[in-house]
Amino acid sequence: MRENEQLTQNRTTINHREKTIGFVYVLLLFLAVSICCCMIIFWTNSDFDTTRQKDIVLVKVEKIKKFQETQKEYKPVVDSLYNRIYKLKPGINAQYEEEDIKYLLNDLKNTYQNNGWDNRYKVFMHVADFYQMWLTDKKELWSKRENISTFKRNLEECEIGLESKKQDWRSALKK
């Protein structure tokens, strides 16, 4: 009988132990499923992506502000360049005037080179290239005008010399 009682007691203990393990197992399963469901629900409706996008937009706004400040900074330089090139007379002005213009043009180009990753800064390079072409064209035009006036003077001298030769020949033929 003792064996019977021990067997019954063992079954009760196993039953109690099995119940406890089963409860813990169901509880862990419930927690795991609950956590998965919460993650799915809250992850898809979270503001994590929105926060990341806000940071990106804030960085873009900062870059735009920096570009606008750079534009304000270089506006007087561009205006000064325009006035200097407009007033430049290659035959009359000193060499230092042209060197100052070239320095300002290189300063504009360097602004783009320092910020080459941002395409908005290409405007500085384009303005510098445009003013460089204008300066080159102005010097070439002056040079060509000088050549034309020199050729006209030479032509006039040649025509005068030709007329004097013709008169000399006519007077020599009449004699």
Q: Are residues 114 and 170 in the same domain?
A: yes
Q: Residue 5 has what pLDDT?
A: 66
Do residues 109 and 128 lie in contact, with contact meaning Cβ atoms separated by under 8 Å? yes
Domain containing 25: what range? 1-46
Q: How far apart are CA 54 and CA 5, in angstroms?
A: 72
Q: Report the pLDDT averaged over residues 151-167.
A: 91
Among 30, 46, 62, where does a domain finish? 46
Do residues 161 and 142 lie in contact, with contact meaning Cβ atoms separated by under 8 Å? no
81-140: per-residue pLDDT in tens? 999 999 888 877 678 888 899 999 999 998 888 887 888 888 989 999 999 999 999 999
Do residues 74 and 124 lie in contact, with contact meaning Cβ atoms separated by under 8 Å? yes
Domain count, the chain: 2
Q: Which two three-digit tokens encode residue 159?
A: 């025509």
Q: Are residues 76 and 158 in the same domain?
A: yes
How many CA within 13 A on the CB side of residue 116? 4
Q: How far apart are CA 99 and CA 105, in angstroms?
A: 10
Question: How far, in Å, are 33, 37, 38 from residue 44 at the CA level?
Answer: 17, 11, 10
Q: Are residues 34 and 58 in the same domain?
A: no
Q: Are residues 34 and 56 in the same domain?
A: no
Q: Are residues 33 and 80 in the same domain?
A: no
Q: Are residues 20 and 62 in the same domain?
A: no
Sign of CA dihedral 80, 93, 135, 106: negative
Q: Are residues 126 and 168 in the same domain?
A: yes
pTM exceeds 0.75 for this model:
no
Q: Are residues 61 and 128 in the same domain?
A: yes
Q: Mean pLDDT of all residues in the chain?
A: 86
Q: Name the residue type at position 70.
A: T
Q: Which residues, 6 or more positions from 113, have their beta carbon under 8 angstroms from its beta carbon?
A: 125
Q: Which residues, 6 or more positions from 7, have their beta carbon under 8 angstroms from its beta carbon?
A: none
48-87 and 122-174 are packed helices; what angle lies between their axes, rounded to 10 degrees? 20
